[in-house]
Structure 1
Amino acid sequence: MNTSSNARVEVDLTQAPPRSPRVRLGGFVHLPRLIDKARAAIAGKLGVYVYGSESLLDQQFFDLTGISPEAFLDKVRENAGDWAILQWVQANTHRPMQAFQIQAWSQWLETLPGLSPEARAWFAEFSQSLDPARPDVSTLFEYLDLDDFVRFGGQA
């Protein structure tokens, strides 16, 4: 990722995973990962990842903030850094949020086994298919971290 102030920030998710959903920005879990996916979407380099309404975690963030996936992409297209994007998010939520509210939402999201009956069923099937068995993989975030690691050459 190029981080010089005047250069376009590109993320190529065909070469490396986005940041872990556990990484926080302004207290929001998933926000740095969402930024990575938005940058990759803009560059046409999402790989197997999905952005926006097709992603359960992205949609949870957009539902919480009231920001649309399109408006978020527009902000990221301005080549804003993470801090500027966070400030924009805070200024554009449909209702002001206190730090404790963001913290509560983040903790809730971080411990979910799945976000829908279909996702929970799929997750249960995935968990049972791991060889060797991984009883430590019980939440969506744990799955995403493991999947990102294995997808780019790690061993489960």
Structure 2
Amino acid sequence: MRIKLEGYVHLARMLDKCRAVLAGTEGEYIYPCPMDERLLEFAGITSEQFTAAVNTNPADAGVAAWFRQTATPHPTAELEKWNEKLLARGPSSPESLKKFKKYRDAVDPSRTDLTAWSDLQDLEEGRGVPQRQVVA
């Protein structure tokens, strides 16, 4: 999720998930998920448009070029602020928090310091996640 494509965090991950859905190999991954929808909304693109572009562009470069031409342009500072906000985003409802805790506890119940979906994804997929300071 942290890897940038065309300056956007999550775009490369969303591209991989979309390809997996098109191939029928997505397993537990969900496309479009709420994070995907947030990115697409910020870019001014629908999931249907993105899926069609991925379906017709076999290479990352082709999708990246399409995205660059199609997405609503944003100044660099605005894009960076949006990237930081997306990476810091945590559960937004009691139901979402319950799901977050369930996923976290299945991987490492001791990591009660985690509050962001991006950190939970990293933990779940075996990438190191630094300890966060717990705010009371």
TM-score tier, shorter chain, comes to: 0.7 to 0.9
Gaps of 5+ in 1: 1-20, 151-156
Structure with the bigger percentage of helix: 2
Instruction: Give the count of matched residue pairs.
Output: 127
Q: What are the residue-to-residue correspondences of 1:58-69 with 2, within 5 Å? A: 58-69=36-47
Is 1:105 aligned with 2:85?
no
Aligned partner (choices 8, 23, 30) of residue 3 of structure 2: 23
SS at match of 1:48: coil
Match of 1:44 in 2: 24
Identity of aligned residues (%): 30
Q: What are the residue-to-residue correspondences of 1:138-149 with 2, within 5 Å? A: 138-149=115-126
Give the CA RMSD over aligned residues. Answer: 2.3
Cα deviation 1:10-36 (Å, max 9, x = unaligned): xxxxxxxxxxx1111122110000010
SS at match of 1:35: helix
Q: What are the residue-to-residue correspondences of 1:1-156 with 2, within 5 Å? A: 21-52=1-32, 55-93=33-71, 95-124=72-101, 126-127=103-104, 131=108, 133-149=110-126
Match of 2:132 in 1: none
SS at match of 2:126: helix
TM superposition shift of 1:118: 2.6
Contact kept in structure 2, 1:56 and 1:115, CA below 8 Å: no
TM superposition shift of 1:39: 0.8
In 1, Cα distance between equivalents of 2:75 and 2:61: 18
TM-score by length of 1: 0.70
